Amino acid sequence: METTEFGQAVRRWRDRLSPEATGLPAGGHRRAAGLRREELAGLAGISVDYVTRLEQGRASNPSSQVVDALARALRLSSTEREHLFRLAGLMPLGAETVPAYLTPSVQRMLDRLVGTPVAVYDACWTLLVANPPYAALMGDPSGWRGHERNGVWRNFLGAGSRVRHTPESRSALEAAQVADLRTAAARYPADQRLQRLIAELRTNSARFAKLWDSGAVGHHEAARKTIDHPHVGPLTLDCDVLSVAGSDLRIMIYTAEPDTDDAGRLALLTVLGTQTLVG
């Protein structure tokens, strides 16, 4: 790894990116127009100390996940992202691995949906990014690591979500998720993380193993969902999942019918964010 060149590239791209372009407030006097290190660290989900050491050439061998997170946070083009991978001594993830790259156009769309809960998942339902309203609605994912960030793992082996389910809706969700993983495994046969995820689910979830072995099929549909929020109570919202052509990304968007109690509660959540309410 060319540590000096890698750090210089990160610093150069950090300096060119304004806070406003990432949805952050400019805030007070700045010595430079670009992002501060702590802002880049927050956007990428890594520590400020690690960003500092990378920029100063005192850290080597960042993982592909770290490089990908920096590329997303810095709003790099596909060519710039490939260059950053090569500076880190890594090969960019190829066509046989699940894409985890948010294009600048998708990122700009997210930046404009500031009052709407939005999350972006990859082809195997691993969370890539969630905006603040989504975190407020569904729970802050910033502390999730590894398989915790995967919606299928959380549904079968983890804590699940705040979405209220009937037996029928849960069965439909599970079938759709298993079908999605089977499709992803066929499309990206070289993705070792996906293979490990499937192996863990088959080993530790009898329900998943049964659906997988039976060849269950299903697909996601737009639906009205009730989310049981611990502070503002239940919200019934429309949930739509959009696909991004050519990247296999899934954009999940929650909206409320205008002029309803649900719309009011969602607006309140957007203002409160993820802070804990105390009586």
CATH number of 3-87: 1.10.260.40
**How would you label 140-166 residue by residue, b for 16+ Cβ within 10 Å and e otherwise?**
ebeebeebebbbbbbbbbeeebbbebe
Please count the other Cβ atoms lying within 10 Å of the Cβ belonging to residue 129.
Answer: 20
Angstrom distance (rounded) from CA 226 to CA 165:
8
**Residue range(s) of every CATH 3.30.450.180 domain in the chain:** 104-272
- Residue 104 CA to residue 33 CA, distance in Å, equals 19
Give 257-269 pLDDT, tens digit per residue. Answer: 999 999 999 999 8
Q: Is the pLDDT of residue 3 over 90?
A: no
Q: pLDDT tens, 82-125?
A: 899 889 988 766 667 888 888 778 888 888 888 899 999 999 99
- Look at 20-24, 60-64, 185-189, 251-255 and tell me which has the smallest mean pLDDT: 20-24
Tokens of 2: 């060319």
pLDDT level of residue 26 (50, 70, 90 thresholds):
low
What confidence category does residue 250 fall into, taking pLDDT thresholds of 50, 70 and 90?
very high
User: Greater confidence, 8 or 26?
Assistant: 8
Question: How far apart, in whole angstroms, are the C-alpha atoms of residue 58 and residue 64?
Answer: 18
Average pLDDT of span 25-50: 82
pTM for the whole structure = 0.74
Tell me if the domain spanning 104-272 has CATH number 3.30.450.180.
yes
In whole angstroms, what is the distance from residue 149 CA to residue 125 CA?
Answer: 8
Q: What torsion, rounded to 10 degrees, do the Cα atoms 16, 19, 21, 23 define?
A: 160
Residues forming CATH 1.10.260.40 domain(s) in the chain: 3-87
Phi-psi region of 25 (alpha: psi -120 to 50; beta: other; left: phi over 0): beta
Residue type, 196: R
At residue 52, the pLDDT reads 93
Tracing tokens 């993380």 back to the chain, one arrives at 193
pLDDT value, residue 279: 37
**Longest distance between any two alpha carbons in the chain, whole Å:** 61
How far apart (Å, rounded) are the C-alpha atoms in residues 106 and 216? 31
